[in-house]
Amino acid sequence: MKIPQAKIEERAISTLRNIIDKHPTMNPDFDSMDKKMSWDGFIWIFTGETEQSKDAYDDKVSVQIKGHIDRENKYFSKEKITYPVEVADLKVYFKGTGTIYFLAFMTEDGKKREIYYASLFPSKIKRYLQRVEEKMLTKTISIPFRRLKQTPEDFYIVVKQFSIECKKQGFGDGPIVQNTIEQKEIEEVDTITAVVVGASTDLEICQRMETGDVCIYGKTKNGKIARPLEWNDDAAKTFREKMERAVEIKRTVDYI
């Protein structure tokens, strides 16, 4: 018996809602039956753990949630996948401040579920839409999705990081995103910055950047504001740090 799509979508929404409900500073506000154009609702985040009021309001993050039955177990237990997203939806997200796009795959009985997400902040969408034009795509474009760790703390890190990027960038057709630093301008960049939620060491910063959730911003020598660097899903990021340490010559030192 074929499962109605509305039921599949409701399962996907309930999976996310159950995780969010366990976190003290997040509150789900999802719609069933796809009532909103290109969005399925919002996640409210607050600054305090004991009160969700106007005084504790932090942000309202838009989300898109898609549910799918995975009969062939194609999308279970993978850290990263690619999946097609409608170009028309990307254009809508770009006119706003982006969205977190969730894919929920499940068995027919609903007992096994896997969630993947893509943090589609405006500068990232800009690059995807450029690829749409370059490849002359009309309906969909395949983009990478990351497996979601289904704990309230990890979920919050994803949502808060997305909120920070969207607040910095504003609308897709606004001046910040429209003046994204392109690859050909990299040599002109004097300083780079990034805010990384959930990281306290250099290794954790690199791991968080590898998820695709973090945007890097650059400022040119004569620039007054930091602008997003052009997004590249496959870019390798290398960080160097100058360190001064004593070195002993007559013995072998192993670095781990």
Per-residue pLDDT reduced to its tens digit, 85-111: 999 999 999 999 999 999 999 999 888
pLDDT of residue 32: 67
- What is the DSSP code (8-state) at residue 100? E
pLDDT surpassing 70 at residue 34: no
pLDDT band at 82 (very low <50, low <70, confident <90, very high): very high
pLDDT of residue 203: 87
- Residue 185 CA to residue 1 CA, distance in Å, equals 56
pLDDT surpassing 70 at residue 1: no
pLDDT band at 180 (very low <50, low <70, confident <90, very high): very high
CB count, 10 Å around CB of 90? 25
- Residue 193 CA to residue 19 CA, distance in Å, equals 31
Question: Whats the size of the chain, residue-wise?
Answer: 256
What tens digit of pLDDT does each residue of 153-177 get? 999 999 999 999 999 999 999 999 9
CA proximity to 184, closest of 126, 225, 232: 232
- Residue 52 CA to residue 74 CA, distance in Å, equals 39
Mean model confidence pLDDT for the chain: 88
pLDDT of residue 63: 96
The percentage of the chain sitting over the pLDDT mark of 70, rounded to a whole number, equals 88
- Mean pLDDT calculated for residue range 195-224: 90
Contact call for residues 235 and 212 (beta carbons, < 8 A): no
